[in-house]
Amino acid sequence: MRNARLFFSLLSAFAVTALTTTSFAADARPNIIFIIADDLGWADVAFHGGNAPTPNLDQLAREGLELTRHYVAPVCSPTRTGLMTGRCWSRFNVTTPQNERALPWDTMTLPKALKSAGYDTCITGKWHLGSKPEWGPNHFGFDHSYGSLAGGVGPWDHSYKKGPFSPTWHRNEKLMEEKGHVTDLITEEAVRWLEARGEKPFFLYVPFTAVHLPIKEPDEYVQRVPASIQGDMRRQYAACVMHLDSAVGRLVGALEKTGKRSNTIVVFTSDNGGITVENNDTNYPDDDYPAGRLAGSNVPLRGEKGQVYEGGIHVPAIVNWPGKAKPGKLDVPLQITDWMPTFCGLAEYKPSRDLKWDGRNMASLLKGEVNSSAPCPVYTVAPGWRARALHFGDWKLIELGAGKNAPKYELYNLGQDLSETTDLADKEPARLADLQQHLKRMAANDKDSVVVEGNN
């Protein structure tokens, strides 16, 4: 009897150990926080020479892995489509900022996939993939949603542009009104959600509206702007960048407070390049916005938001993953579409069907385990299909007037000419022809997943 009791005691201990080991293995899957700024230019951050202090982002970059060739779409809704699906936005005929539903109902989105793998999912911020509540984030895999269903909003009244989608601020797709600055509200909701997490892994998506117009910052941030930055609008813009940086610091602080920092991937990037348009856009409800042009900077890159030149699509990007992503810089062309395959791989999600990803799982690259010299193409489509681009290693092909009978082509060697000053199309006819064929192959699947009218 004593031996029997000893046997069952040992068996019980083994079972507890096995359960604990299994639980630990499940918990070892990383939490994910994906932070995306709105219209933040390459040189708007201090670690790229920006004049506004960004100490929290600087620290994330210094202690993490900077992706020096991270590409997105030229404008917002397409970038968000690429992140949510792992596919180029052109597959869904999404090329411009849009309020109509962007994705078919049966789309396997990133939050849907992670949720099915046991993750809690949350978005606090800007959705802009369908601006009616019935097209909102909870319909596409988010357990909790908060912020703007439409695009950029007034920072104090939280209203989108004048028209049917102007009332847009919501919690779980129920429109609401709330007081406070938009950057603070998005951050506070994210922090509350983080602090309420249990042991399940989580995916928190924080798409800020900063530094999208209209900008009107709290006095406390404007007063912190260095005296060297002169002019009302330039100081407002710097204050907006600094406010964003402070918000990122608060999110990281919440991770540390909850003891989840060591097993959380934090990614920071922008949805497109910077822009220098008028801040006081009359399309928005009047809220006494400062007049003057935004101070978005993409130096030394050519172009700006809306264009396929580097200034429109080549954006700051940081991966901070303690103990996994080795600090330094990764100079490999990557794109917003790579994140879904990467996160799904880390979450051990197994697709039941071919999701036709354009992106690739880059977890090994982030960990420094693979040094792949084989270039992967990066395909880009501009608003209204007016231009397309293809990166292949150091080379970049631009097709202007896409879809027309006689489009114009430009060719650049970004390894030697990052600012795209010298068009080599006439000097490199063989390479030009080769990249044109690559572009044609990449475009073959365009519009294969378009929302069908009446598909509700």
What residues are labeled active site?
76, 128
Q: For residue 282, give Cα distances in angstroms to 128, 165, 208, 210.
A: 20, 15, 22, 18
DSSP characters over 347-392:
TT---SS----SS---HHHHHT-----S---EEEE-GGGSEEEEEE
Residue 411 CB burial class (10 angstroms; 0-12, 13-18, ≥19): buried
Closest CA to 107 of 125, 86, 90: 86
How deeply is 278 buried, as exposed, middle or buried, from its count of CB atoms within 10 A (0-12, 13-18, 19+)? middle
Sheet holding 174-175, edge to edge: 174-175, 169-171, 144-148, 120-126, 202-207, 31-37, 264-270, 317-320, 65-67, 328-330
Task: Give yes or no for a contact between 203 and 114, defined as CB atoms under 8 angstroms apart.
Answer: yes
**Structure tokens of 135?**
């097209």
For residue 87, give the DSSP letter: S
Counts of helices then strands in the chain (DSSP H, E): 11, 17
DSSP assignment letter at 159: B
